[in-house]
Structure 1
């Protein structure tokens, strides 16, 4: 199994030494000499940026999902409240008709109170004075008032949830912009050190691939789909068909295999049996990487994975022996 502690220590060292020196050299007076970063230091910085970007993409996708759920709940409750308002209008019309009859009979006190009522709560407050109503009519009024109170309370709760989801979505949008800046930094580093991305070792992103492994049935269909996408671009938040992010590819692949998975890496990590030993992996298992579970891909067998890696790269088949093996957390078997 991996030793993430050493990698994390190396990352912090790289972030505060070689890479910081590159940034600092642009701010210090001319004539001050600083060593250029080494390839190892650049690799560590790119490794760090890969993890940060993956986590931000997962957070962004989760915020979008939470926002959509909150919006749907709000719309459902709004519809329920609308139905109750229709019931209230019908009830008020009946009460007004009853009040008119009562007016003709000379019972003015309760009539005036009903017509002056502003809503269900006001009517309920006056319920004890509605002596001329039948028990069935009073029961209907009580039932309506209780239902209205419950639904309006739910509406307030839905509004709060929607407000909270919108705030999280705004935060995710801000984080997305910050990550895009980090991706720009990554691309600048790779322009100087083209082979410095440790996650790209043994990767094959050439298009037109097909799965030739032993998996069949739903698993084979999922891997067939994933392999057909090899060569398409990674798209931040993408769910196809022209490109995918990591969890978008996993979701679409397993959908092709007849299994409905949730959208985000965080939710997908909660589906199915967990496998912590890489030697026990089977084709089709969903592998998760980084402590924050910001990245995932499909195990393809023979020590390989098909996945959507990051912005700037295409969907690819990659070996697990080096970089990805060291970042593996666990897998799930849908």
Structure 2
């Protein structure tokens, strides 16, 4: 049976009905496995970027502290110069009133008594010496003032440069966080944590300083991972290790890289781990604390919380360990 020709308008209408309604060329949604693999890569990248952020932030704080010290010194010297300037002006006014020559002192050559004359000469010499000392002090302080001002200005410029570096790293971290949270929510694994968590009790085998470290770290369990976080409401990985060892009276540097370098002479074999040891991942993007019995306590990554997990399940290759 023949239907004849279909009118053009009708043919177009049929074609439109038959076209797929979804977006043309849309990428298929990633599988759970693909999402997990992408999250692992994001977490690894974020580890390194967060440590760069922390490093830049530490440099900025040091540069800002240096500027503050130099600027305070400059201000103190400026006040000293102003005071000396007032004294010099007073001296000049006095000299103008009495004459520029010390011989203009009343009665200096009017006395006929040799002893009186010697006393007046000694007084004139003392006044002259004091004036000379004040002028010299003013000259020294005034010459040093410009150098101090220039040093303070250079320190401020350095601090501003470091601050720009911090903002650059912060911007990249924030972009990564958006991607991490999106994937975690897709996987149903996003955990915002509780900044007021009281954690859990440590009952492991540690003793001495290490016991104090782990009691502190376990008391932070449940608090959120926060990039740049040093507590008390949230931590990143090196922020937690630093705070935990501080609780035991040991001062660690701020960043993962710095902690690894600080421990250059304190490294221990992985088969000799003891509670409290710091365990560093390959690439030095992450650090955790060995809790004993094959477990670690750490602040993993965005969308997660401080937690205790088996060392074997941390998901990161280990490069070494340090015993503070």
TM-score, normalising length from structure 2?
Answer: 0.71
Question: Which segment drifts farther, 50-59 or 153-162?
Answer: 153-162
1:177 pairs, out of 167, 171, 179, with: 171
**Rg larger for:** 2
Number of positions where the alignment pairs a residue of Structure 1 with one of Structure 2 = 273
1:68 pairs, out of 61, 66, 79, with: 61
Change in CA separation of 1:305 and 1:86 when aligned onto 2, cut-off 3 Å: same
Residue 17 (structure 2) aligns with? none
Residue 127 (structure 1) aligns with? none
Deviations 1:36-86 (A, max 9, x none): 656555444222211222222222233333333333322222222222222
Question: Which segment drifts farther, 173-182 or 236-245?
Answer: 173-182
Residue 14 (structure 1) aligns with? none
Residue 13 (structure 2) aligns with? none
Q: Is the 8 A contact 1:237 1:245 kept in 2?
A: yes
Q: Is the 8 A contact 2:70 2:151 kept in 1?
A: no
2:323 pairs, out of 305, 312, 333, with: 333
1:49 pairs, out of 24, 37, 42, with: 42
Unaligned runs of 5+ in 2: 1-21, 102-125, 192-196
Deviation at 1:308, TM superposition (A): 0.8
Aligned-CA RMSD value: 3.3
Secondary structure in 2 matching 1:300: strand
Residue 24 (structure 1) aligns with? none
How many Å separate the matches in 1 of 2:183 and 2:146? 55
The aligned runs of 1:183-332 (5 Å cut-off) are: 183-193=177-187, 208-272=199-263, 273-275=265-267, 277-291=269-283, 293-324=284-315, 326=317, 328-332=318-322
Q: Is the 8 A contact 1:233 1:244 kept in 2?
A: yes
Residue 84 (structure 1) aligns with? 77
Change in CA separation of 1:210 and 1:298 when aligned onto 2, cut-off 3 Å: same
Q: Is the 8 A contact 1:223 1:300 kept in 2?
A: yes
Unaligned runs of 5+ in 1: 1-28, 109-131, 201-205
